[in-house]
A and B are shown apart, each in its own frame.
Chain A
Amino acid sequence: MADKAYAAAPESELQNNAKRFSPPSGRHSGVFSLLFRLWRLSARMDMLWLLRDTRTCLLVMTSDLIGNAAGMAGILLLSARFDGIGGMSQDQVLFMLGYAACIDGLFMLFFGMVNTGYISRVIGRGQLDHMLIQPVPLPVQLLTAGFIPFSGSSLLICGLGVTGYAAARLDMWGNPTWVLGMGINLAASVAVILAFSYIIGSSAFYAPVAGEEVSSAAIAFFDVTKRFPLGGLPLPMQVVFCTVLPAGLVAWLPTARLMNLPAAGLPAFFLVLSALVLGTIATFVFRKGLKQYAKYGSQRYSDHGHRR
């Protein structure tokens, strides 16, 4: 169907699009310029959605906030009850929960639309075809198509507010160098979750029906586990939960290090290193899956466009 639509478009229009969105070869500035143009385009579409369907949009924002607040509240209540948990004081727990909300907010902001974060859905549903016919490199599309700065920013704003408040209570603003560390760690945390989603989600190239929702399971793993402060566990368990079962990798480890607390005996750059390693593995696995896709394509849609 998409092929037909593509074929039906005037040739001059396709050529214009190709000129506008294809980066000049060999020029990195061209790629960045393209990225920013597409982010702007996604932002405009998001704004249009907000203006056109304000009620639904506000409902989405509210439900995201309520869902996240409920997730935070459990740990926060425990922390209040026991005057801190997992080797952290109440304010330190609050800082960690704010950081976790920032991760969710950033993920939502950059990968919250058209399932660019939940890649197994795109692959499993055969929707990668829609991207492959666009005159824009696939990585650029995956980085830009999910950008929703208006409808998807509420969680990030809330997370930043909570983190800032906790930082003030912990007197961290006296030496604001932690902000830089937090920025780097946040990017690494999101990269780890995204890489995890892409590594697991690439199984949908080989089993589109069975694998359609595996990225959701991968991301849900971090949703469910990342808010637990693990400082009270024996050291070997802390290491296990930061490596093999990475429940503490994306939020507990970086925040503990930002607050100069010991965390599984791992260095501060461990998260960044993990992000780089997992990112490399994800790229390799995804590219391998794409080769499989190029051979066999997707069988999910019938001739009438219904999903099998």
Chain B
Amino acid sequence: MKSPQPGFTKNPRSGLSSRLRAYAATGRLCATQAFDGGILNVLGSWLLRLVALIVQLAVWKSLLRQGADTDGLTVSQVLSYIALTSMLAEQLNIVSPASMSFWEGTLANRYTRPLSVVLQLMAETIGRWLPHLLFYSIPILLITPLLGVDMRPAGWPAALFFLCSLSLGISLGFAMDLIFAALAVYIRNAGWMALIIRNAFFTLFSGALIPFRLLPWGLGDIFRLLPFGSLANAPLALYTGMGDPGPMILLQCFWNLVLWPVAIMVYRHSEERMVAYGG
């Protein structure tokens, strides 16, 4: 689709503050949209995550307390790593509406608004995080002591490095999301499949399921170098004191510098191939 307002062109709305207000309004709308289908819809997914977390914590606790060799990691470190993965699931695995809205045909609507399409997608994604953060992540943070998890960071420097690393991870996540969205455009009517493949890669290579230091055969050392490793393992490892901040943050910066230009290029290219019918 040749768009009159491509995703990366300068938008005609003048004034930074008015543009920021527009994106904030987009985010706000998306935050409330989570409840459009009623509480039943969102409650189900939160309940599912909570139960999955409880099962994971129970399995890890039993495994680690049986005296398994954990490469120097403590039970507390592993449990807080696992709990944090559940709490920050949306921030560690960035899934913007790009791929699915292309599949549904609603991506076309975003090209009719006087705002950058990519920034709209980012504002929508951040907006959709808010209900999860307020009604899942924060309550889970408060009840984790009851589940036997100490959620305190490994120290104040670790907390600061974590925030820095998480920001870089989120930035990288958006870049990778754009690349996958472009892939969805190339494979046309199979955006759902692209999402499944992408989630599979994330599950396996990001460290969201298992801390890299607990992987066998030195696989963690390889996965750590991949861009997926910078999404989840880096911030989580820094928070729990499992890794050296310098190399991890430098690697995240490297992947951001490499993948953002690639993402912009492939997404721009994919815009020429977009076909929307529906919406």
Q: Which residues of A contact B (CB under 8 A)?
A: 56, 59-60, 62-64, 66-67, 69-71, 73-74, 77-78, 80-82, 85-86, 200, 203, 207, 209-214, 217-218, 220-221, 224-225, 228-230, 232-234, 237, 241, 245, 247
Contacts and interface: CB of A to CB of B under 8 A. Distances in A.
Interface string B145-189: 000000000000000000000000000000000000000000101
Interface in B7-63: 36-41, 44-45, 47-48, 51-52, 54-56, 58-59, 62-63
A67 B36 CA distance: 29
Interface residues of B, number: 41
B37 A213 contact: yes
Contact of B216 (A64, A80, A218, A225): A80
Interface of B: 36-41, 44-45, 47-48, 51-52, 54-56, 58-59, 62-63, 66, 68-69, 187, 189-190, 193-194, 196-197, 199-201, 203-204, 209-210, 214-217, 219
Contacts of A209: 36-38
B48 A224 contact: yes
B81 to A, nearest CB: 14
Contacts, number: 118
Contacts of B56: 228
Given A56-B189, A56-B193, A62-B197, 12 more contacts: A63-B193, A63-B197, A67-B200, A69-B200, A77-B215, A78-B63, A210-B38, A210-B39, A211-B38, A214-B41, A224-B52, A247-B55
A66 B197 contact: yes
B180 to A, nearest CB: 13
B196 A220 contact: no
Contacts of B217: 80
A207 B187 CA distance: 35
Interface centre among B36, B69, B193, B215 (most CB of A within 10 A): B193
